[in-house]
Amino acid sequence: MIKNFPESIEACAAYYGNAADAMRTYLIDGHQRAVALPNRGPIRFTADGSLDPAIRAAYSEYGFYIFEELYCAAELDDLQQDMSRMRQQFPVEPGAALNAQGEPALGADCKAPTLQWVKPLSDPLGGTAHFNGRHQVKLFEPKAAIDAPAYSPFVLSGHLQFSEACLRAYAHPELLKLCAAINGEDFTPFNDTIFFKDPGLGAAVAWHQDGDTHWENPLFDENIHGFNLMLQLYGSTAVNGVWVVPGSHKLGRLDIKQMIADAGSERLPDAVPMLCNPGDVVISNRQLVHGSFANTGFEPRVTVNFGCHRLSSVLDVKGAGMHSEVAVYDAAFIRERSHVLGLAIEARKQRYPQEQAYTYKPLAGETYVWNAQALKSIKDYNLRDLSI
């Protein structure tokens, strides 16, 4: 059962002044339309290990699918506890070397990007040149409470090096089977992030499409830019969640500025929110038009994000420079980036020995041992993120 949160909807609408009634209606209608879509349920595979054809068809039609209760309560508790521990290790402010306890802050000694901060309820990307200008129009920025902090956590990159619970979750065998079913057994991981949407603080993310490299590729199709797997630790609502335009992943690169002009506001009429309970996972095509409003409600959202590509989309391709430095991704580069998955599978085996572990064929012949030294070995692994 997907819950509605009328108190949060009312609180959110109140921030929009003369547009409050329109925003309230938009949130309620979007929730109802999202619930009505036939793209949610347990993950299912056929007897030969293929993804259930009905799931595959729904994902193709809408560009996203919600796998309900994929993570059990015990694993979800591990993840939530690790998230709390990591947050205690965050620096006291952007750029600080220490946390609130005077200890070395999480990621302070990393070369690769780690924690990004934003001003509460802002839209830091909309209308800027960041990520090659893909966030074309800035969303409405509500005024934060007078006692709000100056900055709020926004995105944590390369989180697998900081959280064993996240690393184990990364190797969930059914999710990896899903990756193989969509992108082939030689699929490659490419980027891992955690998005924070704290109540009354969480930033907006302007409407955009994630893909950058292959829009003009003669082999362009609906899956060429890969997908994200979005694990929800506390759920996702119409107020704090990601909204998507179903089916837009098939239409190529879209003029979002024109879409907003045609709609007469940032409330794109065909969009729906991704509605999730804790432990649900969304597979979301990176070509979908998507975005999220500032979290002016009462519920937090923490999304643990894992990305996946087809090998053919990245092999010997020059990257777009969005998640890492521009590079040509040869076989050695891709294999090095994939090693973290080999370690994740071993870490999960130790925590869940009764589970049938996934065998990742691109690393066949490699031997992995999971211990404290192994965790140290993946420091800055996201310097090799694959950005297309």
Question: Which pLDDT tens digit goes with each residue over 280-289?
Answer: 999 999 999 9
Segment 142-153, tens digit of pLDDT: 999 999 999 999
pLDDT at 133: 85
> What element of type H or E holds 283?
strand 281-285
Half-sphere exposure of 182 (CA within 13 A, CB side): 31
* Nearest Cα residue to 155 out of 282, 275, 288, 323: 323
Answer whether 323's CB lies under 8 Å from 131's CB. no
Tell whether 171 is covered by a domain. Answer: yes
pLDDT at 92: 94
pLDDT at 114: 96
Counting Cβ atoms within 10 Å, is residue 265 exposed (0-12), middle (13-18) or buried (19+)?
middle
Looking at the DSSP bridge assignments, the partners of residue 228 are 284, 307
pLDDT at 324: 82
pLDDT at 322: 79
- CA-to-CA dists, residue 198 to 48, 189, 353, 381, angstroms: 42, 27, 35, 27
Q: Which residue has the tokens 């999304």?
A: 303
Alpha helices in 184-330 (DSSP H): 256-263, 311-314
Measured CA to CA, the distance from residue 378 to residue 180 in angstroms comes to 23
Phi, psi of 103 (to 5 degrees): -100, 160
The 10 Å CB-count burial string (b at 16+, else e) for 36-58 is ebebbeebeeeeeeebeeebeeb
Residues contacting residue 323 through CB under 8 Å, at least 6 positions apart: 157, 190, 191, 382, 385, 386, 387
pLDDT at 26: 98
Measured CA to CA, the distance from residue 293 to residue 232 in angstroms comes to 17
Tell whether 357 is covered by a domain. Answer: no
The 10 Å CB-count burial string (b at 16+, else e) for 139-163 is bbbbebeeeeeeebbbbbbbbbbbb
pLDDT at 360: 97
* Nearest Cα residue to 56 out of 321, 327, 285: 285
Q: Which residue has the tokens 């990896």?
A: 176
Tell whether 350 is covered by a domain. Answer: no
- 262: domain CATH number is 2.60.120.620
Residue 124 belongs to domain spanning: 6-312
Lookup: tokens for 13:
């609408």
Tell whether 100 is covered by a domain. Answer: yes
Answer whether 233's CB lies under 8 Å from 304's CB. yes
Answer whether 138's CB lies under 8 Å from 127's CB. yes
- CA-to-CA dists, residue 387 to 16, 156, 177, 276, 310, angstroms: 35, 17, 23, 27, 13
Tell whether 354 is covered by a domain. Answer: no
Looking at the DSSP bridge assignments, the partners of residue 51 are 45
For the chain, what percent of residues have pLDDT higher than 70? 100
pLDDT at 1: 81
pLDDT at 339: 95
Answer whether 203's CB lies under 8 Å from 296's CB. no
> What element of type H or E holds 192?
strand 188-197
Helix (H, G, I), strand (E, B) or coil at 154: strand
pLDDT in tens, the chain (388 residues): 898 999 999 999 999 999 999 999 999 999 999 999 999 999 999 998 899 999 999 999 999 999 999 999 999 999 999 999 999 999 999 999 999 999 999 999 999 999 999 999 999 999 898 888 899 999 999 999 999 999 999 999 999 999 999 999 999 999 999 999 999 999 999 999 999 999 999 999 999 999 899 999 999 999 999 999 999 999 999 999 999 999 999 999 999 999 999 999 999 999 999 999 999 999 999 999 999 999 999 999 999 999 999 999 999 999 888 778 889 999 999 999 999 999 999 999 999 999 999 999 999 989 999 998 898 999 999 999 998 9
Measured CA to CA, the distance from residue 266 to residue 260 in angstroms comes to 5
* Number of structural domains the chain divides into: 1
pLDDT at 43: 98
* Nearest Cα residue to 316 out of 325, 326, 327, 329: 329
pLDDT at 338: 96
